[in-house]
């Protein structure tokens, strides 16, 4: 079980603050009758908005809790944490309120805490070792992409067109005001992207298409909606034995058209040749998985149409993600690779868009 403790006043913002005493209090607040005697902390992952640390724990008495966990912590100075407070709030909400209603593979969450202003946050998550994080630059195999798409059906299917999700604070379909806010920052972000990268003609046309069309697209009420991940790419997937997948980084969830996740996944995580050969089969496998989760009245032909219609999700996340993330050599390489791949997908599948 997880719990959110809004009254906690000393949530760690650095690994040094994740002490045995703090963990004892946090785990007890989540209903675990334990005393943590000692903890060793090792950095893992390369998150842009939060720090992740593997905790090796020793307990005073035997417990069902595991000897290792991963702590995901809001880090950095207060200005940075204020900027990221929305994603901390969103991921905590996911584990506390939404995850139990879904069938998507994700780490178990042992405890959470978040401050009233959401600038301090900690999640104690299942350690998925020896699963290996995907590499967005290298990409993934078609079989791996299909495994992720089928897993995503366990996110989308259980809350398919479920109005009750709007009862959860912060979950709503985009409004006209959301469109205006997005458009107020999209143009400058696109200009910054153009200035930062050397774009070929197709990539430049994709950015132009994004700025021209994203407002109408985001405001359009989807014919179908579900809870979506929002950043479903291989860097946010852990691959275990036999490519069994676990999806992580639930900081960007929102209601939206579910094919936004699938279009973003396939158009940025597969090589161009692999996408061209396998995307229809992968979309069909995803559609079959949706049916297994109880979705009805939705044909594979509609699913394929929605996949093409959702391709704009990819350049949208590339441009926004690049603006929000700290500039690094790997990050720049990743964003450039993703834009190149998704621009080709747009040209292949919606050829009139880039004219």
pLDDT for res 56: 97
Mean pLDDT of 217-236: 94
pLDDT for res 332: 92
For residues 148 and 245, the answer to whether their CB atoms sit within 8 Å is yes
Return the closest-CA partner of residue 303 out of 319, 282, 323: 282
Q: Which helix (H) or strand (E) holds 341?
A: helix 329-349
pLDDT for res 46: 59
Classify the phi-psi angles of 184: left when phi > 0, otherwise alpha if psi is within -120 to 50, otherwise beta. alpha
Taking the C-alpha atoms of 330, 332, 333 and 334 in order, what is their torsion angle to the nearest 10 degrees? 80
pLDDT for res 96: 94
What confidence tens digit (pLDDT) does each residue in 285-302 have? 999 999 999 999 999 999
What confidence tens digit (pLDDT) does each residue in 228-258 have? 999 999 999 999 988 899 999 999 999 999 9
For residues 182 and 127, the answer to whether their CB atoms sit within 8 Å is no
pLDDT for res 241: 87
pLDDT for res 1: 38
What confidence tens digit (pLDDT) does each residue in 24-66 have? 999 999 999 999 999 999 998 656 678 899 999 999 999 999 9
Q: Is the dihedral of CA 109, 245, 134, 346 positive or negative?
A: negative
Cα–Cα distance, 338 to 315 (Å, whole number): 8
Residue 325 has pLDDT above 90, yes or no: no
For 38, list phi and psi in degrees, rounded to 5: -155, 160
Q: Which domains does the chain carry?
A: 15-126 (3.30.200.20), 132-354 (3.90.1200)
pLDDT for res 42: 95
Reduced to 3 states (helix: H, G, I; strand: E, B; else coil), residue 311 is: coil
Reduced to 3 states (helix: H, G, I; strand: E, B; else coil), residue 296 is: coil
pLDDT for res 47: 60
What confidence tens digit (pLDDT) does each residue in 75-93 have? 888 888 888 888 999 999 9
pLDDT for res 5: 45
Q: For the chain, what is the mean pLDDT? A: 93
Cα–Cα distance, 128 to 307 (Å, whole number): 31
Residue 210 has pLDDT above 60, yes or no: yes
Mean pLDDT of 146-154: 98
What confidence tens digit (pLDDT) does each residue in 100-135 have? 999 999 999 999 999 999 999 999 999 999 999 999
pLDDT band at 351 (very low <50, low <70, confident <90, very high): confident
Percent with pLDDT over 70 in the chain: 96
pLDDT for res 76: 81
Residue 316 has pLDDT above 70, yes or no: yes
Residue 7 has pLDDT above 60, yes or no: no
pLDDT for res 4: 43
Q: Which residues contact 241 (CB under 8 A, 6 or more apart)?
A: none
């Amino acid at each position: 079980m997880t719990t959110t403790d809004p009254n906690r006043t000393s949530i760690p913002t650095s690994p040094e603050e994740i002490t045995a005493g703090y963990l004892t209090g946090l785990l007890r607040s989540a209903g675990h009758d334990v005393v943590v005697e000692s903890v060793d902390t090792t950095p893992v992952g390369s998150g842009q908005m939060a720090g992740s640390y593997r905790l090796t724990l020793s307990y005073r008495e035997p417990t069902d809790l595991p000897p290792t966990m991963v702590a995901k912590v809001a880090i950095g100075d207060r200005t940075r944490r204020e900027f990221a407070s929305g994603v901390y709030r969103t991921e905590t909400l996911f584990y506390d309120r939404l995850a139990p209603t879904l069938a998507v593979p994700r780490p178990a969450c042992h405890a959470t805490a978040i401050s009233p202003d959401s600038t301090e946050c900690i999640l104690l998550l299942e350690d998925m070792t020896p699963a290996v994080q995907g590499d967005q630059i290298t990409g993934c195999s078609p079989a791996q992409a299909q495994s992720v798409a089928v897993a995503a059906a366990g996110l989308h299917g259980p809350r398919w067109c479920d109005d009750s999700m709007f009862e959860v604070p912060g979950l709503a379909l985009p409004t006209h005001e959301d469109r205006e806010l997005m458009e107020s920052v999209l143009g400058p972000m696109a200009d910054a992207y153009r200035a930062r990268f050397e774009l070929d003609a197709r990539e430049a046309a994709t950015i132009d298409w994004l700025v021209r069309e994203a407002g109408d697209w985001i405001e359009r009420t989807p014919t179908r909606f579900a809870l979506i991940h929002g950043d479903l790419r291989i860097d946010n997937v852990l691959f275990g034995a036999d490519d069994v997948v676990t999806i992580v980084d639930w900081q960007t969830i929102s209601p939206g058209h579910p094919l936004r996740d699938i279009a973003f996944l396939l158009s940025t995580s597969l090589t161009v040749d692999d996408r061209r050969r396998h995307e229809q089969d992968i979309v069909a496998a995803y559609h079959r998985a949706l049916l297994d989760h109880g979705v009805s009245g939705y044909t594979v032909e509609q699913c394929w149409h929605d996949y093409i219609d959702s391709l704009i999700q990819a350049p949208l996340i590339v441009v926004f993600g690049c603006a929000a993330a700290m500039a690094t050599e790997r990050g720049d390489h990743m964003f450039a690779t993703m834009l190149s791949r998704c621009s080709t997908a747009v040209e292949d599948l919606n050829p009139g868009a880039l004219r």
